[in-house]
Amino acid sequence: MVIDEVDTCFFYDDGPGLREELKYWRKDLGVTLAGIPLDNPVIPASGTFGYGAEFAELYDIDRLGTFSFKGTTLEPRFGNPTPRIAEAPQGMLNAVGLQNPGVEKVISEELPRMKEFFHKPVMANVSGFSIDEYAQTCALLDKEEQVGWLEVNISCPNVHGGGMAFGSSPEAAAEVTRAVKAVTKKPVFMKLSPNVTDIAAIARACEDAGADGVSLINTLLAMRIDLKTKKPVLANGTGGLSGPAVFPVAVRMVYQVYEAVGIPIIGMGGVSSPEDVIEMMLAGASAVEVGAANLVDPFVCRNIIRKLPEVMEQYGIDSLTDIIGGAHHG
């Protein structure tokens, strides 16, 4: 989407002050993700935005590029026992464990409700505990017109018997990719784990197996110990570290994967500002997910989009598409 003194519809009800501030700049925030255009590259990450309803009460979420809804499995999941959230310096640990109502309820209840407040293609995040489960869930979501992309999570560190196990080797990642691609015509983005020796090799395996893109990074496996009880704070023992602490790791991995594959990348991990979005795109991301920051400030994605044109002006950027992978071209 191009923002200039003529095109102010982007700001909806944000008032004349913001329009006055930005009307002198002509900035193109639009990107394309696996053939589907986005007004901007900002995407709230799965597990931090629910199905959008709570955020839609706060602001018009149609201004987002899209959002990745809560991780969905074939059967309902209660998740891990509590406590499953812990604080950490410059971040947080979670071990929620993919709590969700199951794909049938997502299709019968959540997607129809979503139509009332979100009018763009949405990203469906899918998890599983076997290759067949991944395929079944994706096959059901493939029939839903609202779903624009399937983000296949082979990287969750907080469940046993699935999740990250499929993203730990190129062979397993490729096997899930092939199974999912066989049952859907929608673009498939494989969500990769940072808890591996060579994330670029796993990304290449997904590309070779037919993936339309990759998402990275998921959370870093971590632990906190309670000094009083002398036991791990989380009932699960370990959890996934997210937040600003992981941002430099995420940038490095996006940079490495961009050099290894020719498919689009959704970058994520500690993103909380328009500067972070631009840095991630320079590393090679075509779009950027915002995760833990939504739990700190529910307006963070709206505010990033608002401020992007100003930051683009500061750094002499006219089009976000033009800077994708820019750090590799110097």
Is residue 241 within 8 A of residue 88, CB to CB? The reply is yes
**DSSP string computed for 268-307:** -SS--SHHHHHHHHHHT-SEEEE-THHHH-TTHHHHHHHH
Instruction: Return the active site residues.
Output: 156
**Rounded Cα gap, residues 62 and 118, in angstroms:** 6
Which of 179, 185, 116 has its CA nearest to residue 150?
185
Beta bridge partners of 188: 150
Which of 312, 303, 324 has its CA nearest to residue 4?
312
Name the 3-class secondary structure at 184. Answer: coil
Q: What is the 3-state secondary structure (H, E, C) of 232-270?
A: ECCCCCCEEEECHHHHHHHHHHHHHHHHHCCCCEEECCC
**Rounded Cα gap, residues 183 and 299, in angstroms:** 36
**Rounded Cα gap, residues 192 and 219, in angstroms:** 10
Element (H, E) at 207: helix 199-208
Q: Which amino acid is at 133?
A: E
* DSSP code, position 81: P
- CA contacts within 13 A on the Cβ side of 23: 10
